[in-house]
């Protein structure tokens, strides 16, 4: 797998710092995730193929470049939805594919519960959105489903990746490129990223599950 792209821009790192802060309230957390979605999408879509064409400005003919094909943005529910508005701010006519997976808290397996994908994935650039890559089970399961439906070499856009999740993707999906704001130290013994930011979905949507904070 290509080396992950860690977006080190101060505007990204400052927002990540505020996300990590346990005292950041839900509305601010959600806004910061949305803004990071835009900044990360800007980097992740840098190599999208373009077509050249000529059009008429009010003044003269101009040679211009447009994005060649509408890419697919595939948020993993729920938390991936937080990155979607920012992605669409960068590529406003992306096709949205929804992928429902939740992580079983005991086994940490990814349980599928919803999928709505376009038929022509093979002809499109695909960007999977999920703020957290922890064990990599959810990301890997989402990428497997996309591959079964014809997607080639998708990009995985996240805010924090754990080394364990990166290793899983490298093993199961070696063609995937990861764009992230940070690679953290490790997982704790409950599968949470350390130091991480806690449960992204809960912090974004105001729901509660107990986030185990053991140092294990
Ligand atoms: O790499 P993994 O170990 O699979 O963990 C990461 C997944 O866990 C979180 O989702 P969660 O299952 O909590 O669902 P939610 O987004 O609905 O809260 C997160 O948004 C990822 O999808
Ligand atoms: O640290 C983690 C791990 C999985 N999912 C989250 O939201 N946070
Ligand atoms: Mg969650």
Contact 180, 6 (CB under 8 A): yes
**E strands in the chain:** 5-6, 50-56, 61-67, 72-77, 95-96, 98-103, 110-116, 126-129, 132-133, 155-157, 160-161, 177-180, 182-183, 186-187, 193-194
Place of tokens 């904070």: 213
How far is ligand 1, taken at its centre, from the CA of residue 63, in Å? 44
Q: State ipTM.
A: 0.98
Q: Is the CB of 191 under 6 A from ligand 1?
A: yes
Mutate to test the pocket of ligand 1, among 132, 168, 211 (most ligand atoms within 8 A of CB): 132
Q: Is the CB of 132 under 6 A from ligand 2?
A: yes
DSSP assigned state of 107: T
How far is ligand 1, taken at its centre, from the CA of residue 21, in Å? 19
Q: Token pair of 80, please?
A: 């991936």
Which domains are delineated in the chain? 5-205 (3.40.50.2020)
Sign of CA dihedral 172, 105, 28, 193: negative
Q: Is 184 one of the catalytic residues?
A: no
pLDDT tens for each residue of the chain, 216 residues long: 899 999 999 999 999 999 999 999 999 999 999 999 999 999 999 999 999 999 999 999 999 999 999 999 999 999 999 999 999 999 999 999 999 999 999 999 999 999 999 999 999 999 999 999 999 999 999 999 999 999 999 999 999 999 999 999 999 999 999 999 999 999 999 999 999 999 999 999 999 875 555 444
């Amino acid at each position: 797998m290509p080396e992950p792209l860690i977006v080190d821009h101060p505007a990204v790192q400052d927002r990540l710092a505020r996300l990590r802060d346990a005292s950041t309230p839900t509305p601010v957390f959600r806004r910061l995730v949305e803004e990071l979605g835009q900044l990360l999408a800007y980097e992740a879509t840098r190599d999208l193929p373009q077509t050249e064409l000529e059009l008429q400005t009010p003044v003269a003919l101009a040679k211009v470049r447009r994005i060649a094909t509408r890419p697919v943005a595939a948020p993993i529910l729920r938390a991936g939805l937080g990155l979607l508005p920012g992605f669409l701010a960068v590529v406003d006519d992306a096709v949205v594919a929804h992928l429902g997976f939740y992580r079983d808290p005991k086994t940490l397996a990814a349980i599928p519960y919803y999928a709505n994908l376009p038929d022509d994935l093979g002809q499109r650039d695909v960007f999977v959105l999920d703020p957290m890559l922890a064990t990599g089970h959810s990301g890997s399961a989402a990428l497997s489903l996309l591959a079964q439906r014809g997607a080639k070499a998708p990009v995985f856009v996240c805010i924090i990746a754990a080394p364990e999740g990166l290793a899983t993707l490298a093993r199961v999906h070696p063609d995937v490129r990861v764009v992230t704001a940070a690679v953290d130290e490790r997982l704790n013994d409950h599968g949470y990223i350390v130091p991480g930011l806690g449960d992204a979905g809960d912090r974004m949507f105001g729901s509660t599950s107990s986030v185990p904070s053991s140092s294990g």
